[in-house]
Structure 1
Amino acid sequence: MTALIILLATIATAMLSAVFGMAGGLILMGVLAALLPVASAMVVHGAVQSVSNGWRAVLLWRFLLWRTLAWYALGSILAAAALASVSLVLPRAWLFIVLGLVPAIVWVPKAWLHLDFTRASHAALSGLLVTGLNVVAGVAGPLLDVFAQNVEADRRAIVATKAATQVAAHAVKIAYYLPLVLAGDGLAISWWVLAAAVPLSVIGTTAGSRVLDAMSDVTFRNWTKRIVTVIGAVYVLRGVLLL
């Protein structure tokens, strides 16, 4: 039953992420955190999301903002270097609370934080902060969206570039938690489940990309905030109940 839930969540959240560029990873992390030990949940989430985001970037490669990716990678490398000397695994209750609070970032007024990841310094800062938060909380899509909400670009360019940056962030997360998993009791699920999740992630991403093509930029921006806010509220409640 655990394997079935994870596989169904994988394809459904891959479709959702392909449409909005976020939200899917947030939901999948919550599902995995409820079913698996935190370290195992982080590794499985990182692996599945790397494939999902990577394939989304491949499908939309013509829209990628390459300069942004280069500066983001620099910030991501700095975050990985800083995390290399720190060992931090949140208890399950606090993981849900942090997951739930992350989406609140998308409601910060643009006048307060006018960030734009097409600027070199902002892209590097994005890589540093998003990668760091991704390792601690498992997801950082809403924080990344703060750097993308002021970008004057096609919605496909935003989704494609965000997807590519998340591949780097999830790779750092896997590298951080995999030694803890291997040193403990293993992945907590059969490796075949992880292997089966990979093609399902590709299928879900492909299907969601077709929905994205048919959506307007206005609808894309409006629904993104609403979806992640509802998810965040549910996670905070879940964490408080666990406490």
Structure 2
Amino acid sequence: MATLAGIFLPDGLPAHFAALLIAASFATSFITASVGIGGGAAMIALMSYFVPPAALIPVHGAVQLGSNGGRTIVLRDYVDWTRVAAFSAGALFGAAIGAAIAVRLQSGIILMVLGAFIVATTWVPLRRIAAMKTRGFAAIGAITTFLGMFLGATGPLNAALLSNSFPVRQKLVGSLAALMSVQHGFKVIGFAVVGFAFAPWLPLIALMIASGFGGTLAGSKLLNTMPEKGFRLAFKLALTLLAAGMIFRGVKTFYWN
């Protein structure tokens, strides 16, 4: 007789690994809800040890769609919906191109360049980015969604480019959550269109989304009590750590693969 784990989990994924991913979804959602960034990148790094490469980015995208969607609901009063709409138009274009190509790019050099760019935009004031117009959100939506079809978590890049456009921490976290919901939503649709089979993964995805929503509720409470300066410093440090990880992975891929 098939076990419950065999029925509800994809082939080859042990129950204790699934339990770890579900717990990690709570922790990583707590991180993103409280400091604005970091959870998605941490989640894909952990999932890479347990989820087959062909399923990693589609499944991660579905989990992050649910996680960011929950955070958008919790912080909906702070979301800049006009900018989200502009970002969405660009994201649709980027996802369509990425899905049409439907190949995994050699990402080593790309990771190194993006990591260095994130560090620069995090610590060096850039007036043009700080004064980003609505049409700029459309361009960023197209570029980062396209990259997300191959690199997985592009939250740090969106955050680095757009963080100065939202001077209040709740607006930043809420609007980034809405932007990433759109981006992951188009990513999931794109992978479904090119034939990825989500069905075997749906029970695990649902449990990870539910766990992540709990992390979002807990992290949002910390966000509302954190001083603005403390939040901004934690946000920059988290972005820098993520960028350093991207650079390291790029160097490793470029020189050792």
Partner residue in 2 for 1:14 = 29
Residue of 224, 230, 242 corresponding to 1:219:
230
Partner residue in 1 for 2:239 = 228
Q: Which amino acid aligns with 2:76?
A: W
CA distance in 1, matches of 2:243, 2:119: 12
Spell out the pairing of 1:153-232 with structure 2 (5 A cutoff): 153-178=167-192, 179-182=194-197, 191-232=202-243
Give the secondary structure class of the aligned counterpart of 1:35. Answer: coil
CA distance in 2, matches of 1:111, 1:59: 30
Partner residue in 2 for 1:150 = 164
CA distance in 2, matches of 1:198, 1:180: 23
* Residues 162-210 of structure 1 deviation map (CA, whole Å, 9 limit, x = unaligned): 100101111122223344532xxx77x7543222112101101111000
| Alignment partner of 1:128 is 2:142 | yes
How far apart are residue 48 of structure 1 and its match? 1.3
CA distance in 1, matches of 2:245, 2:98: 29
Spell out the pairing of 1:25-104 with structure 2 (5 A cutoff): 25-90=40-105, 94=107, 102-104=114-116
Q: Which amino acid aligns with 2:231?
A: F
CA distance in 2, matches of 1:173, 1:195: 17
CA distance in 1, matches of 2:81, 2:201: 37
Q: Structure 1 residues 165 and 212, CA, compared in 2 at 3 Å: closer, same or farther?
A: same
Q: 5+ residue gaps in structure 1?
A: none
Aligned identity (percent) is: 26
* Residues 85-128 of structure 1 deviation map (CA, whole Å, 9 limit, x = unaligned): 2121257xx57x86676444332254557314751121111211
Give the secondary structure class of the aligned counterpart of 2:233. Answer: helix
CA distance in 1, matches of 2:113, 2:141: 20
Structure with bigger gyration radius: 2
| Alignment partner of 1:2 is 2:13 | no
* Residues 2-23 of structure 1 deviation map (CA, whole Å, 9 limit, x = unaligned): 2122112111101011112211
Partner residue in 2 for 1:106 = 118
CA contact 2:35–2:231 (8 Å) conserved in 1: yes
How far apart are residue 235 of structure 1 and its match? 5.3
Q: Structure 1 residues 55 and 10, CA, compared in 2 at 3 Å: closer, same or farther?
A: same
CA distance in 1, matches of 2:113, 2:231: 22
CA contact 1:7–1:200 (8 Å) conserved in 2: yes
CA distance in 2, matches of 1:7, 1:98: 30
Q: 5+ residue gaps in structure 2?
A: 1-15
How far apart are residue 220 of structure 1 and its match? 1.4
